């Protein structure tokens, strides 16, 4: 079958290729057959012994006729079949002609689409000759299409932008080209297209005119750079202006303080206090404005340093305690023991936010108190800081508004309490910058709770350390806490965490009745119940408790206390002091007032030794103020009016063998500034191998870069003006204690 088919195919192909030979063969075969047949018949009929028989002839003729009819019928069938195929072929042919038309039309449309495209389209052969260019390309080139086809025309490139390549191989790049209408920015997309085999690849380039976009982008970027520069200048200006304002203010506040230390009539003292308070209010306002503008300028740089969490919180409570106690309010803090001792973050900024929240809480509270509670947050490594008060509360409609700048909940109330309405706006931005959130819950008339939750990680260095040994109160050690209010509740919570059994009562009569009930490990009595009541309870507790502690406010610290007490604790309580006090064996505690455990009394212990201090300060009033403050604290002071004088004085004292214990160095001074003077001192120390003199910067500039500059120059710490006695005392105490200053 296959073989026959192959033979047929070969024959057909032969016929197609050599039609003349096929015709000759076909004619020859027909002629030979006809001739052969006729010849045979005639020869046969004329032969003598052919035995002609008319019957046989008739039979033969009819047979041949039948054979011819069969041949004709076959031919006719074949003809019909061929006709049918011809009709099919004709229909197919027509369809092909239609399709061809359609294709031609489509090609025409595509070509005119290409030609009329707004984008530039140009095709080049492998030798770079243009094979197609659309109208837009011709228009931009300023030439007719015919004049471009076949040439290697290209625009001159004025500027070349960056180029990138897609995974498909398409190259994208921006170019500024020279055209008869001037320079235009074109964003090109170029790729090679392989044509039929044997021909080289064609380069297709499509370009979009992006001049307007590019120029707008450039203008925007320039405007942004200018705005950045202006912002930087504004920030610098604000820092400068605030420095300039702070310096005289420093004098006003400091001198006011010194004036108040002299003997004044009642009236004079009132005026002097007013001067000092107004100065402090102005200073706070300047600081808030400066801070706000820094945050606005995106200049809020956060430091990441390890710091002790409970120290920070207790410092804040202690700092605010006088303000709270002056309003007869309680203030207390609680740091959950599950939290790491040291965490890494920006302690100064966190302190600023918490001071603002707790300061507001005191400001807007008339009775009750304020609690600062630090607990693990809802996410791992998140810490939640709660500032709770029992104040006037905030109406629901004001709750989101107060976080906006210069907004206050109630104008009328704001007039009574004062303030700028900036504190919460600043706090929220700082917290957001730290990656945290601030939320508020409040009940008008009942109080408010501000909660900040920030991701803070534990410091590696402080891991596993504990701040103090917590006293072992397990095994059912009972403690009677006779007190009321926020702080009492927090003390009870802490004692429970230490394993004690706590009984908290606020009523003296109930407490008296409870005392004989059992033998108490310790009895804590709040003197706020009344001095007489506290003393009476102390006496009553003598036989029932080995430890009898009284809780005092700093103002009642110097009052005479009953001998019934074995010790006292100053409110707001530090957890370490409470732990130290409860861990002491009562027998070795003097029956009268024992001094506070060392944790709380470091501040004044060492200042009496008297340091020799070199103060480099060009401002006369500030220098006078520094001298007075230091002299009052028992130190000897040498003043230098500029960096050069300070350096000379330091060199002289070092070579005389009586080096200074401390240098307080103003940063901005004529001749030689503080940074340069410090560098030279450090260089001299390094060259001679001499003793390292602690140097503290003294400046009103609070920009982070200024701090870095100080540390880079070799300073040990930083004192921000206006300097008050406590800050200075604290820094000096730290210095005397360790000779290694950390402010
Ligand atoms: P300022 O206290 O300087 O006015 P803040 O931004 O700190 O500015 O506070 C904005 C306003 O929010 C305050 O004026 C006050 O109306 C309201 N507010 C803030 N904290 C409290 C609070 N603890 N209790 C009641 N109102 C508060």
Q: Where are the domains of the chain?
A: 6-35, 57-112, 117-209, 217-296, 305-458, 478-593, 602-737
Q: Which of 331, 405, 408 to mutate to test the pocket of ligand 1 (most atoms within 8 A of CB)?
A: 408
Determine whether the shortest distance from the Cβ of 394 to ligand 1 is under 6 A. Answer: yes
Structure confidence at residue 25 as a pLDDT band (50, 70, 90): very high
Q: Which of 392, 402, 405, 413 to mutate to test the pocket of ligand 1 (most atoms within 8 A of CB)?
A: 402
Q: What is the mean pLDDT of residues 332-358?
A: 91
Structure confidence at residue 592 as a pLDDT band (50, 70, 90): very low
CA dihedral 569, 570, 576, 578 (to 10 degrees): 30
Rounded CA separation 414/410 (Å): 6
Least confident of 214-223, 524-533, 553-562, 710-719: 553-562
pLDDT above 70 for 357: yes
Rounded CA separation 622/615 (Å): 10
Domain 478-593 sits in CATH at 3.40.50.2300
Structure confidence at residue 593 as a pLDDT band (50, 70, 90): very low
The distance from CA 33 to its chain's CA centroid, rounded to whole angstroms, is 106
Structure confidence at residue 658 as a pLDDT band (50, 70, 90): confident
Rounded CA separation 538/556 (Å): 16
pLDDT at 383: 95
288: enclosing H helix or E strand: helix 266-296
CA of residue 495 to ligand 1 center, whole Å = 33
Determine whether the shortest distance from the Cβ of 360 to ligand 1 is under 6 A. Answer: yes
For 345-369, letters b (16+ CB in 10 Å) and e give bbbebbbbbbbbbbbbbbbbbeebb
Structure tokens at 392: 């006037």
pLDDT above 70 for 196: no
Determine whether the shortest distance from the Cβ of 408 to ligand 1 is under 6 A. Answer: yes
The distance from CA 624 to its chain's CA centroid, rounded to whole angstroms, is 44
Determine whether the shortest distance from the Cβ of 714 to ligand 1 is under 6 A. Answer: no
CA of residue 300 to ligand 1 center, whole Å = 22
Rounded CA separation 275/379 (Å): 48
Structure confidence at residue 661 as a pLDDT band (50, 70, 90): confident
Structure tokens at 239: 């820092």
Whose CA is closest to atom 22 on ligand 1?
361
In the block, tokens 């192959």 appear at 6
93 Rama class: left (phi>0) / alpha (psi -120 to 50) / beta? alpha
Rounded CA separation 585/581 (Å): 9
pLDDT at 466: 60
Which atom of ligand 1 is least distant from the CA of 419? 3
How confident is the prediction for the chain on average, in pLDDT? 84
Taking only the tens place, the pLDDT of each residue in 300-315 is 788 888 999 988 998 8
Structure confidence at residue 47 as a pLDDT band (50, 70, 90): confident
CA of residue 375 to ligand 1 center, whole Å = 24
Percent of the chain whose predicted confidence (pLDDT) is above 90: 29
Q: What is the layout of strands, in order, in the sheet containing 182-193?
A: 130-133, 120-124, 202-209, 182-193, 171-179, 156-165
CA of residue 214 to ligand 1 center, whole Å = 47
pLDDT above 70 for 65: yes
pLDDT at 418: 67
- Residue 527 is classified by DSSP as G
Judge contact between 493 and 579, C-beta under 8 A.
no
Rounded CA separation 544/537 (Å): 11
| Class of CATH domain 117-209 | alpha beta
In order, the DSSP letters of 545-566 are EEEEEEEE-GGGTTS---TT-S
Q: Which of 355, 409, 427 to mutate to test the pocket of ligand 1 (most atoms within 8 A of CB)?
A: 409
Map residue 421 onto helix, strand or coil.
Answer: coil
Rg (CA), the chain: 51
Which atom of ligand 1 is least distant from the CA of 409? 16
Cross-strand pairs, 159: 176
- Residue 201 is classified by DSSP as P
Rounded CA separation 615/640 (Å): 6
Determine whether the shortest distance from the Cβ of 371 to ligand 1 is under 6 A. Answer: no
Structure tokens at 44: 């046969």
Which atom of ligand 1 is least distant from the CA of 425? 6
Whose CA is closest to atom 19 on ligand 1?
360
Q: What is the mean pLDDT of residues 578-602?
A: 52
Structure tokens at 301: 């740089």
Q: Which residues contact 128 (CB under 8 A, 6 or more apart)?
A: 152, 203
Determine whether the shortest distance from the Cβ of 391 to ligand 1 is under 6 A. Answer: yes
CA of residue 587 to ligand 1 center, whole Å = 50
Determine whether the shortest distance from the Cβ of 427 to ligand 1 is under 6 A. Answer: no
Higher pLDDT, 634 or 455: 455
pLDDT above 70 for 464: no
CA-closest candidate to residue 525, choices 538, 515, 513, 512: 538
Q: Is the peptide bond before 725 cis (omega within 30 degrees of 0)?
A: no
Whose CA is closest to atom 23 on ligand 1?
361
Q: What is the mean pLDDT of residues 485-500?
A: 87
| Class of CATH domain 217-296 | mainly alpha
pLDDT above 60 for 587: no
CA-closest candidate to residue 120, choices 40, 213, 42, 206: 206
Residues in the chain: 743
pLDDT above 60 for 724: yes
Rounded CA separation 421/411 (Å): 10
Residue 437: half-sphere exposure toward Cβ, Cα within 13 Å: 6
CA-based torsion, 100, 101, 104, 109: positive or negative: negative
Determine whether the shortest distance from the Cβ of 419 to ligand 1 is under 6 A. Answer: yes
Judge contact between 92 and 115, C-beta under 8 A.
no
pLDDT above 60 for 560: yes
Q: Which residues contact 243 (CB under 8 A, 6 or more apart)?
A: 668, 699, 700, 701
- Cα dist. 205→109, 125, 143 in Å? 20, 12, 18
Rounded CA separation 526/622 (Å): 43
Largest CA distance in the chain: 184
Judge contact between 403 and 428, C-beta under 8 A.
yes
pLDDT above 90 for 92: yes
CA of residue 270 to ligand 1 center, whole Å = 28
Q: What is the mean pLDDT of residues 277-295?
A: 82
Whose CA is closest to atom 7 on ligand 1?
423
In the block, tokens 């004088």 appear at 645
The CATH number of domain 305-458 is 2.120.10.30: no
The distance from CA 294 to its chain's CA centroid, rounded to whole angstroms, is 16
CA-closest candidate to residue 634, choices 606, 607, 613, 616: 607
Phi, psi (5° rounding) for residue 160? -115, 125
Determine whether the shortest distance from the Cβ of 576 to ligand 1 is under 6 A. Answer: no
Whose CA is closest to atom 2 on ligand 1?
419
CA-based torsion, 661, 664, 670, 672: positive or negative: positive
Structure tokens at 166: 């897609």
Q: What is the mean pLDDT of residues 714-733?
A: 76
CA-closest candidate to residue 327, choices 288, 297, 366: 366
Rounded CA separation 656/341 (Å): 45
254: enclosing H helix or E strand: helix 211-261
Determine whether the shortest distance from the Cβ of 426 to ligand 1 is under 6 A. Answer: no
Q: What angle do CA 717, 720, 725 make, to 5 degrees?
A: 100
Say which CATH topology domain 602-737 has. Answer: Rossmann fold (3.40.50)
Domain 478-593 matches domain 602-737 at the CATH topology level: yes
668: enclosing H helix or E strand: none
pLDDT at 414: 67
Q: What is the layout of strands, in order, in the sheet containing 447-455?
A: 330-335, 369-376, 382-389, 447-455, 437-443
Which atom of ligand 1 is least distant from the CA of 361? 23
CA dihedral 92, 97, 103, 106 (to 10 degrees): -120
Rounded CA separation 729/120 (Å): 77
Q: What is the mean pLDDT of residues 488-506?
A: 87
Determine whether the shortest distance from the Cβ of 207 to ligand 1 is under 6 A. Answer: no
CA of residue 251 to ligand 1 center, whole Å = 30
CA of residue 360 to ligand 1 center, whole Å = 6
Q: What is the mean pLDDT of residues 76-95?
A: 94
Percent of the chain whose predicted confidence (pLDDT) is above 70: 90
Structure tokens at 28: 């020859």
Structure tokens at 673: 């500034």
Taking only the tens place, the pLDDT of each residue in 234-268 is 777 877 777 788 788 888 888 888 888 889 888 88
- Cα dist. 323→317, 370, 526 in Å? 10, 11, 20
Judge contact between 637 and 660, C-beta under 8 A.
no
Q: Which residues contact 599 (CB under 8 A, 6 or more apart)?
A: 468, 574, 576, 577, 580
In the block, tokens 């401002």 appear at 619
Which atom of ligand 1 is least distant from the CA of 403? 6
In the block, tokens 């936010």 appear at 353
- Residue 701 is classified by DSSP as -
Phi, psi (5° rounding) for residue 384? -110, 130
For 404-442, letters b (16+ CB in 10 Å) and e give ebeebbeeeeeeeeebbbbbbbbbbbbbeebebebebeb
Determine whether the shortest distance from the Cβ of 361 to ligand 1 is under 6 A. Answer: yes
Determine whether the shortest distance from the Cβ of 389 to ligand 1 is under 6 A. Answer: yes
């Amino acid at each position: 079958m296959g073989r026959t088919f192959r033979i047929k195919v070969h024959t057909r192909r032969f016929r197609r290729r050599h039609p003349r030979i096929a015709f000759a063969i076909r004619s020859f075969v027909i002629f030979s057959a006809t001739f052969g047949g006729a010849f045979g018949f005639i020869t046969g009929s004329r032969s003598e012994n052919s035995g002609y028989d008319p019957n046989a002839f008739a039979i033969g003729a009819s047979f041949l006729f039948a054979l011819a009819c069969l041949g004709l019928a076959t031919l006719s069938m074949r003809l019909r079949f061929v006709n049918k195929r011809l009709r099919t072929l004709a229909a197919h042919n027509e369809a092909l002609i239609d399709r061809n038309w359609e294709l031609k039309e489509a090609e025409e449309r595509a070509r005119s689409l290409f030609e009329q495209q707004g984008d530039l389209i140009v095709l080049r052969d492998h030798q770079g000759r243009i094979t197609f260019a659309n109208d837009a390309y011709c228009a931009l080139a300023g030439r007719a299409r015919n004049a471009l086809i076949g040439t290697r025309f290209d625009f001159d490139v004025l500027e070349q932008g960056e180029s990138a390549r897609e995974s498909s191989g398409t190259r994208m790049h921006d170019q500024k080209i020279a055209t008869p209408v001037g320079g235009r920015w074109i964003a090109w997309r170029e790729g090679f297209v392989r044509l039929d085999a044997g021909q080289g690849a064609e380069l297709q380039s499509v370009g979009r005119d992006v001049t307007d976009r590019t120029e707008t982008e450039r203008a925007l970027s320039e405007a942004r750079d200018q705005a950045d520069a202006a912002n930087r200048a504004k920030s610098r200006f604000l820092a400068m202006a605030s420095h300039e304002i702070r310096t005289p203010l420093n004098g006003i506040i400091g001198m006011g303080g010194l004036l108040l230390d002299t003997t004044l009539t009642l009236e004079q003292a009132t005026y002097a206090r007013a001067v000092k308070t107004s100065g402090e209010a102005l200073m706070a306002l300047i600081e808030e404005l400066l801070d706000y503008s820094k945050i606005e300028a995106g200049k809020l740089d956060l430091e990441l340093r390890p710091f002790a969490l409970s120290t920070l919180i207790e410092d804040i409570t202690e700092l605010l305690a006088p303000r709270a106690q002056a309003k007869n309010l309680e203030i207390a803090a609680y740091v959950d023991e599950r939290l790491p001792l040291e965490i890494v973050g920006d302690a100064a900024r966190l302190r600023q936010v918490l001071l603002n929240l707790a300061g507001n809480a005191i400001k807007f509270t008339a009775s009750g108190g304020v609690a600062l509670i630090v607990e693990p947050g809802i996410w791992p490594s998140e810490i939640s800081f709660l500032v709770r008060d029992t104040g006037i509360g905030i109406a629901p409609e004001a709750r989101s508004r107060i976080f906006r700048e210069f907004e206050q909940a109630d104008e009328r109330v704001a007039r009574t309490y004062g303030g700028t309405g900036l504190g919460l706006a600043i706090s929220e931005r700082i917290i957001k910058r730290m990656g945290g959130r601030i939320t508020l819950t409040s009940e008008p008339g009942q109080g408010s709770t501000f909660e900040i939750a920030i991701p803070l990680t534990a410091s590696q260095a402080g891991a596993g350390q504990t701040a103090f040994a917590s006293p072992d109160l397990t095994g059912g050690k009972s403690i009677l806490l006779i007190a009321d209010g926020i702080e009492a509740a927090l003390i009870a919570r802490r004692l429970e965490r230490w394993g004690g059994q706590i009984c908290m009562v606020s009523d003296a009569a109930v407490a008296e009745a409870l005392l004989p009930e059992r033998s108490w490990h310790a009895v804590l009595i709040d003197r706020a119940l009344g001095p007489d009541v506290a003393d009476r309870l102390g006496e009553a507790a003598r036989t029932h408790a080995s430890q009898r502690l009284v809780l005092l406010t700093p103002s009642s610290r110097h009052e005479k206390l009953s001998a019934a007490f074995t010790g006292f604790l100053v409110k707001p309580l530090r957890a370490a002091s409470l732990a130290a006090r409860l861990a002491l064996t009562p027998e070795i505690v003097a029956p009268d007032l024992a001094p506070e455990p060392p944790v709380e009394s470091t501040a004044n212990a060492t200042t009496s030794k008297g340091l020799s201090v070199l103060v480099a300060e060009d401002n006369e009033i500030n220098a006078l103020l520094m001298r007075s403050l230091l002299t009052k604290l028992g130190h000897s002071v040498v003043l230098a009016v500029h960096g050069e004088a300070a350096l000379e004085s330091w060199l002289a004292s070092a070579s005389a063998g009586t080096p200074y214990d401390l240098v307080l160095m103003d940063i901005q001074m004529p001749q030689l500034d503080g940074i340069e003077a410090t560098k030279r001192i450090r260089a001299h120390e390094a060259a001679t191998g001499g003793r390292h003199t602690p140097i503290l910067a003294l400046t009103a500039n609070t920009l982070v870069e200024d701090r870095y500059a100080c540390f880079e120059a070799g300073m040990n710490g930083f004192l921000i003006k206006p300097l008050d006695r406590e800050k200075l005392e604290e820094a000096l105490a730290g210095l005397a204690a360790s000779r290694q200053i950390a402010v």
